[in-house]
Amino acid sequence: MRLTRRDFAVGMTASIASMSLPRIASAQSQLVVPTYGGLWAKFWEEQLLPGFSAATGIQPQIDVGLGKDFVSKIRAGGGRSPYSVFMGNENIAAMLRAEGFFEPFDLAKVPNAQKVFPQFVNKDAAGIRAIVSPIGLAYRTDLVKTPPTSWHDLWENPEFKGKTGLYQIGNTGAVLFLRLVAELFGKSPDDFDTAFSKIKELLPFTQASWSGEVATALMRGDAIVAPVDWTEIMVLQDKGAPVAIVAPKEGVLAFEQSFNLVATGAEKEAAHAYVNYVIDAKVQQDMAKAFYTSPSNKESVVDEAMATRTPIFGDRMTEIKSYDWNSYVDKSAEIADRWNREMA
């Protein structure tokens, strides 16, 4: 998931906004939370964490990095994790969960979880998918005569042959698309043989390792249609690019940032308070304005201007296909290897 380059208002008092929040945890730190770089870190440092501290009196520290860094640090931590809370795509979180690194939340300590759309609270409180960035079908408005309305159009619209862009298997977007195709054409989201067979029918297609590369392919005309997150297309539209994005009639995919309680992390009470704050209705609204995400809190308000650009909110959140990744964990390495061999 890649965030918008839009500037956003801090919305905090000067005294709160001026608080110093170190990026990397020190040996004396207690509540340590990871987040990504760039505008993720900017949002966390200037808005989210100061607001959290003002509301709770807790002074967290953040560790800025990539998802793979967070995974490595948790696995290398032995009996003590550097983090109290893990944040990462749900399919990645599922692997660490299967390895025993997480424990369930006590939802009595996360009252805002009752306001989260049920599909984003994992069974037995084993993770909360707190930040949701829908993935639809984007296309070049100046190069496509018949805009897509269905995922099936990737196969059925002859305009798209050889001009489709897809994520590379190292990106969660590719795994989401694989499971979607398995569901659409096969017996279940785990019918990978059918999914591989159908996706190979789209060859040749442009592969990208992250959303920015999908955007580049679209702007170059190497691809004229591609599954990509709303955030990326809104950024391009803000720059005047001839692109649009639609929600296919079968539903949309989404990058779901999963928050999990680390079993060997410190400050469990503070960790619960932190996640509770992240899913607060106002915080989710602020994220939507900054990042074009879809609020996971049912009480968040999306204004009219935002609603016309990012329509997946409120009742339409049910259009998001949120998969159970437990069945995928043991297959992930095999699937990645197969993709790299067959999707050249």
DSSP string, 226-250: EEEEHHHHHHHHHTT-SEEEE--TT
Closest by CA position to 93, among listed 337, 323, 334, 339: 323
Residues 127 and 143 in one domain: no
Sign for the CA dihedral angle at 302, 307, 312, 316 comes to positive
Which CATH number fits the domain that encloses residue 39? 3.40.190.10
What are the residues whose beta carbons fall under 8 Å from the beta carbon of 274, sequence distance 6 or more?
31, 33, 52, 58, 60, 84, 85
Token reading at 103: 């424990």
Q: Which residue has the higher pLDDT, 303 or 5?
A: 303
User: In terms of domains, do 153 and 219 share one?
Assistant: yes
Question: Do 128 and 149 belong together in one domain?
Answer: no
Lowest mean pLDDT among 124-133, 249-258, 308-317: 308-317
My answer on whether 215 and 262 are in the same domain is no
What are the residues whose beta carbons fall under 8 Å from the beta carbon of 242, sequence distance 6 or more? 140, 141, 142, 143
Looking at the structure, tell me whether residues 115 and 149 fall in a common domain.
Answer: no
Q: Are residues 246 and 337 in the same domain?
A: yes
Confidence band, pLDDT 50/70/90 cuts, at residue 22: very low
Is residue 6 included in any domain, yes or no? no
Q: What is the DSSP string of 125-154?
A: G--EEEEEEEEEEEEETTT-SS---STTHH
What percent of the chain lies above the pLDDT cut of 70? 92
When mean pLDDT is compared across 111-120, 152-161, 302-311, the lowest value belongs to 302-311
Please provide the DSSP assignment of 206-230 as one string: EEESSHHHHHHHHHHTS-SEEEEEH
- Give the C-alpha separation, 10 to 252, whole Å: 30
Contact 274, 85 (CB under 8 A): yes
Residue 126: inside a domain, yes or no?
A: yes
Question: Same structural domain for residues 331 and 197?
Answer: yes
pLDDT band for 80, please (50, 70, 90 cuts): confident
Mean pLDDT to the nearest integer, 14-20? 31
Query: What ranges in the chain are assigned the alpha helix state H?
Result: 14-17, 39-43, 49-56, 67-76, 90-98, 153-156, 172-185, 192-200, 211-220, 230-238, 268-278, 281-291, 304-309, 332-342
Do 141 and 120 lie in a common domain? no
Domain range for 233 is 133-253+325-342
Residue 51 lies in a domain: yes
Residue 143, token pair as written in the block:
């190069």
The structural domain count of the chain equals: 2
Helix/strand/coil for 196: helix
20 and 107 belong to one structural domain: yes
- Determine, yes or no, domain membership for 21: yes
Average pLDDT of the segment spanning 48-68: 94
Same domain, 26 and 115: yes
5 domain residue, yes or no: no
Structural domain includes residue 167: yes
> pLDDT grade, residue 4 (50/70/90)?
very low
Q: Does 111 fall in a domain?
A: yes
Percent of the chain's residues with pLDDT above 90: 82
Diameter over CA atoms, the chain: 60
C-alpha 181/C-alpha 196 separation (Å) is 8
Spatial separation of the C-alpha atoms in residues 235 and 67, rounded to whole Å:
22
| Together in a domain, 146 and 106 | no
Q: Which of 189-193, 226-230, 287-291 has the lowest mean pLDDT?
A: 287-291
Do 127 and 142 sit in the same domain of this protein? no
* Cis, bond preceding 242 (omega within 30 deg of 0): no
Write the pLDDT tens digit of every residue in 88-138: 999 999 999 999 999 999 999 999 999 999 999 999 999 999 999 999 999
- The torsion angle over the Cα atoms of residues 13, 59, 47 and 115, rounded to 10 degrees, is -110
Kindly state whether residue 290 falls inside one of the protein's structural domains: yes
